[in-house]
Chain A
Amino acid sequence: MEKTTVKKIATRDAYGQVLVELGHENPDIVVLDADLAKSTKTAEFAKVFPERFFDVGIAEANMIGMAAGLATCGKIPFASTFALFGSLRVADMIRNSVCYPNLNVKIAVTHQGLTLGEDGASHQAVEDIALMRAIPNMTVIIPADATETKKAIRAAANTHGPMYIRMGRPSVPVLFDDSYEFEIGKGVQIREGNDVAIIATGVMVHIALEAAELLAQEGIQARVINMATIKPIDEEIIVKAAQETKGIVTAEEANIYGGLGAAVAEVLCEKHPAKLRRVGVQDTFGESGKPDELLQKYGLTAENIATKAKEMLK
């Protein structure tokens, strides 16, 4: 990967842009928000398609139920709010009104994890991946950059079924160009290496690439896998990494319990036992601070990933 002059775009900004594109292409796309349209960037869609945009006010439960009703009538609703309010707050509505009847509702949340920043722990969802992954019929996607966000949102719009798509607030490096191929359920190897493998998702993908650079300086070749789809998880790419390297580090901006690290551990235990280290939030709440400061304080860093990788090589 080129390290120079990296363009940075927030995944939520890419979401706002692609929604407008989709709105032009497909009249069945409708968008709901719960008084956070300016932050989630659904306001972009609202400007162009006011008749297909519903700001339900601060009432997330009703938003999910309305999305379900719209979906039963052939609409493709994207329901957006912060990750916390679009998952934990409305878990039962998502389960019973969306996933049980397997409705075509896309819950597209922003302000994921710690990098939500200054608002602090009350707003920082670190449990949502685990929760959404546990609901039958649900697909869970965490795009790594703006390019992948656009492709993932397009794929979501064109694939039937409930989906939870988790995006972020701060700008993150654009890692992929338009030739990047996104497929739901497929991990993508974005750096070669056979000493260790780093499987990362979301904001941690570019940090995993930095970790691979650090390791390379010490002569360690790290494979980096972008695991945008947490469910269904790409078992094949995990098993291959376990077979071809000496151990795997997972990296996610979420609690290590129930998220990407847990999903990889499940696959390894059943299919190909291997060494594993999980970088993520260590079962604790976050706090207020700048996104970069939070990533640093909670160990979501290239240095920590590199350290964990080297542990397995000892």
Chain B
Amino acid sequence: MSTIAEGKLAELKQRANHIRQEIVKMVAAANSGHPGGSLSAADILAVLYFHEMNVGPEKVNDPDRDRFILSKGHASPVLYATLAEKGYLPKEELATFRRINSRLQGHPSKKLLPGVEQSTGSLGQGLSTANGMALAARLDKREYRVYALLGDGEIQEGMIWEAAMAAGHYKLDNLVAILDYNHLQIDGNVEDIMDIGPVADKFRAFNWHVIEMDGHNIEEIVAAFAEARTVKGKPTFIVAHTIKGKGVSYMENACGWHGVAPNEEQLKQALAELCAQGGDK
């Protein structure tokens, strides 16, 4: 299933690796933040920003740009690292994450940072904003597409299901919601806390087209977004099977790394592991 050229595939892998390195550095520097759920989404954002979406720092006010909403706003490090990788802000600024006077708030602020399409953080709200953007595209006869990244714990929020019902009702085929299904939330396993399964069936029942993919396989991610473009009359829900903390051995599948920063020693190890996985720095 090769849907992209070898060179592009290698580039996207490297982008994802860079993003992961910046995530752990940023959270370590802030001594605060959410590394686990940021690392699990790094491959998805790399594909979105460097392959799938029509976006860029020169297009922040372009009415035809694609829109991305990080509905799971606590994964702000993955968004900031991706925006920096794309040139929206200097990478040095990532060190200001969560500090006073920074544009890089704990959770993304639309007012502060160009490229952030909606302020998020209070869970469950991003999909409704995405609905509104997708409807606006239809009203204005514009071709842009809207992408929202949801957390698995996040979709326990009732508002998500209001939004899901509406997206199906309005047949928003320019809308793609991606579920970062890493199976962990703050208090434990999603299955133990409040099971969201069978999540694919649930969204199908809400009149969505559903795709399941390995959220760390670049080619599968590329293919899923390509398939979504072919779907007419329905929004697309992509279940991304992911690993919380992906790329850093001691964080992988470890609930404790939801909202904890690595210390100096742990940061060194994380960066060493990520470099060994193909990063170039």
Contacts and interface: CB of A to CB of B under 8 A. Distances in A.
Interface of A: 30, 51-52, 54, 56-57, 59, 61-75, 77, 92-93, 95-97, 100-102
Interface stretch (B120-128, B216-224, B226-234): B120-128
A38 B125 CA distance: 27
Contact of A56 (B124, B140, B166): B166
**Top 5 A-B residue pairs of the complex, sorted by shortest distance between their CB atoms:** A69-B132, A65-B128, A73-B136, A62-B162, A59-B162
B128 A69 contact: yes
B109 A73 contact: no
B136 A70 contact: yes
A73 B132 CA distance: 8
Nearest to B137: A73
Interface stretch (B27-35, B110-118, B260-268): B110-118
B90 interface: no
Nearest to A69: B132
Contacts of A95: 122
B131 interface: yes
A74 B133 CA distance: 10
Contact of B129 (A51, A56, A68, A102): A68
B63 interface: yes
B110 A101 contact: yes
B20 to A, nearest CB: 28
A66 B131 contact: yes
A100 B111 contact: yes
Contact of A62 (B118, B122, B133, B159): B159
Nearest to A77: B132
B57 interface: no
Contacts, number: 111
Given A65-B125, A69-B136, A93-B125, A100 B119 contact: yes
Main SS of the interface on chain B?
A: helix
B176 interface: no
Most buried by A among B109, B127, B129, B134: B129
B119 A66 contact: no
B118 A69 contact: yes
A202 to B, nearest CB: 29
A136 to B, nearest CB: 11
A52 to B, nearest CB: 7
B155 to A, nearest CB: 14
Interface in B143-176: 158-159, 162-163, 165-166, 169-170
Nearest to B144: A73
Contacts of A54: 135, 170
Contact of B130 (A69, A77, A96, A101): A69
B141 to A, nearest CB: 11
A292 B139 CA distance: 43
Interface in B164-193: 165-166, 169-170
A62 B163 contact: yes
Given A69-B129, A93-B125, A97-B118, A59 B166 contact: yes
Contacts of A73: 63, 132-133, 136-137, 140
Contacts of B170: 54
A187 to B, nearest CB: 30
Given A57-B165, A65-B159, A66-B166, A101 B136 contact: no
B218 to A, nearest CB: 29
B136 A65 contact: no
A59 B167 CA distance: 13
9 contacts: A54-B135, A59-B165, A61-B159, A61-B162, A62-B163, A69-B134, A73-B63, A74-B140, A101-B119
A73 B139 CA distance: 10
Contacts of B126: 65
A38 B261 CA distance: 53
Given A62-B159, A66-B166, A75-B136, A97 B128 contact: yes
B111 A30 contact: no
Given A70-B136, A75-B139, A61 B128 contact: yes
A247 B131 CA distance: 51
Most buried by B among A59, A65, A67, A102: A65
A93 B129 CA distance: 10
B162 A69 contact: no
Contacts of A67: 132
Contacts of B111: 100-102
Nearest to A68: B129
A65 B117 contact: no
Given A54-B135, A72-B117, A66 B129 contact: yes
A68 B122 contact: no
A65 to B, nearest CB: 2
Given A65-B127, A97-B119, A72 B133 contact: yes
Given A66-B132, A69-B131, A73-B133, A96 B166 contact: no
A65 B129 CA distance: 5
A93 B131 CA distance: 14
A93 B125 CA distance: 7
A70 B133 contact: yes
Contacts of B122: 92, 95-96
B119 A96 contact: yes
Nearest to A56: B166
A59 B124 CA distance: 13
A69 B118 CA distance: 8
